[in-house]
Amino acid sequence: MNSLTILGSTGSIGLSTLEVVRNNPGKLSVFALAANTNVDLMLEQCIEFKPEFALMVDPQAASLLQAKLKPLQLDTEVLTGSDNMCVLASDDKTHTLVAAIVGAAGLSSTLAAAQAGKKILLANKEALVMSGQIFLDQVKAHGAELLPVDSEHNAIYQSLPLDYQQGYLHKNIRDYGVDALILTGSGGPFLKTPLVELTEKTPEQACNHPNWSMGQKISVDSATMMNKGLELIEACWLFGVQPDFIEVLIHPQSVIHSMVRYCDGSILAQLGAPDMKTPIAHCLGFPQRIHSGSAHYDFINGPAFEFTAPDYQRFPNLKLASEAFAYGQEATTVLSAANEVHVAAFLRKQIQFTAIAELNAKILEKYQPSAVSDIDSILQIDQYARVLATEGLS
Ligand code: NAD
Ligand code: MG
């Protein structure tokens, strides 16, 4: 039995993971769940999955959960605080950590799992974008296993040979005849919106993704294509390449989840319905296959596939991400932190949609290079960028 700790269990990825658990009785069990504030959903999850631990980062939410669990006489112990997430992530009973917290808040616990040599299912792309080489060094040094849940990276991983997949962080992708990675993206809800109308777009419109149902932050990132920018950086780290080895391709139907082009002209792809249960089940079962519960893709009745090149005037964040990667590790930390602040400001209607990318660019211009050698300096740079970005809002 593979016992899971799911950090971010009340979010979109958390819920999809629990659906896969539900579809695989006897193979997967839940050791611990963690979330921020959603007590009612956590209570339902405790009743159904009976974890040993349920953690609410917010102390008030933890007290409320405790009070609601008491009359039910469940054995679940309630914890609070971010430090305890690290404790759960590295507990002996955690066989697999599902890193599904959104944003920088997920870094420390994911790192703790790496240092404890766990199997890590990485959904939280911001953690990798922030910490890049330092995080990967910890994964390698402690013999942890890192599997990409993000659908594009999971598709690329699945399209590479088994020999590469096993221990891929220690291997060179060019030794396997790979010429390029083709990262597909839908282009989000504003792919065809006239440019002059973009300033007026609301959080509700930005979060209304045509194909995927996701949390608010990643939905806004998909609309600005910062999501693809973060994924470009994520792919560079995971597969040990530079941005010029990656071609971004707009594919509005989100059926081809990404591809690998080989030197003989072959292109291998992974396809399927846009449903995160598929990459999650792939990672949970790897190297075997398990049922995900996602619907079979119907080619006959599905839409025709379209492809276009990305438009950097419409999606300046995409260019910014690749420039930040070229600057170096600190620049991607700065960009990711500033973007979190600006997306939150857009969601509370403090800034316009187009201001997200404009302000991200301003913060990146202001950043002064400094050497990062450990996770503490990464966290300091993250804080510095947040302060700069917050000051820029007033
Ligand atoms: P979401 O907003 O739906 O859920 C976020 C989860 O994180 C919630 O459980 C919330 O309680 C928890 N959380 C938020 N702030 C926290 C904090 N400070 N401390 C502890 N927990 C906190 O987000 P999501 O869409 O599930 O995305 C999660 C991560 O997975 C993101 O990094 C996203 O980029 C990545 N991802 C998501 C999808 C998707 O389809 N949703 C696809 C690929 C990658
Ligand atoms: Mg993705």
ipTM: 0.99
Residue 299 confidence (pLDDT) above 80: yes
Confidence at residue 370, expressed as pLDDT on a 0 to 100 scale? 76
Residue 373 confidence (pLDDT) above 90: no
Confidence at residue 215, expressed as pLDDT on a 0 to 100 scale? 95
CA-to-CA distance for 176 and 165, rounded, in angstroms?
A: 11
Out of 7, 60, 101, give the residue to mutate to test ligand 1, the one with the largest number of ligand atoms within 8 Å of its CB: 101
Residue 50 confidence (pLDDT) above 80: yes
CA atoms within 13 A on the CB side of 112: 22
Average pLDDT over residues 329-339: 95
Out of 13, 58, 156, give the residue to mutate to test ligand 1, the one with the largest number of ligand atoms within 8 Å of its CB: 13
Q: Which two tokens stand for residue 243?
A: 């941005």
Average pLDDT over residues 67-93: 97
- Answer yes or no: is the C-beta of 90 below 6 A from any ligand 1 atom: no
Classify each residue of 293-326 as buried b or exposed e, where b means 16 or more C-beta atoms within 10 Å of its C-beta. Answer: ebeeeeeeeeeeeeeeebeeebbbbbbbbbbbbe
Per-residue pLDDT tens over the stretch 106-160: 999 999 999 999 999 999 999 999 999 999 999 999 999 999 999 999 999 999 9
Average pLDDT over residues 357-381: 90
pLDDT above 90 covers a percentage of the chain that reads 95
Confidence at residue 8, expressed as pLDDT on a 0 to 100 scale? 98
Write down the pTM of the prediction.
Answer: 0.97
Average pLDDT over residues 359-373: 87
Nearest ligand to the CA of 153 is 2
CA-to-CA distance for 382 and 387, rounded, in angstroms?
A: 9
- Answer yes or no: is the C-beta of 186 below 6 A from any ligand 1 atom: no
Confidence at residue 340, expressed as pLDDT on a 0 to 100 scale? 98
- 99 Cα: distance to centroid of ligand 2 (angstroms): 14
Closest among 372, 370, 351 to 362, alpha carbons compared: 351
Give me the domains of the chain, ranges plus CATH numbers: 2-148 (3.40.50.720)
Helix (H) or strand (E) segment spanning residue 121? strand 119-122
Residue 331 phi, psi dihedral angles, 5° rounding: -65, -35
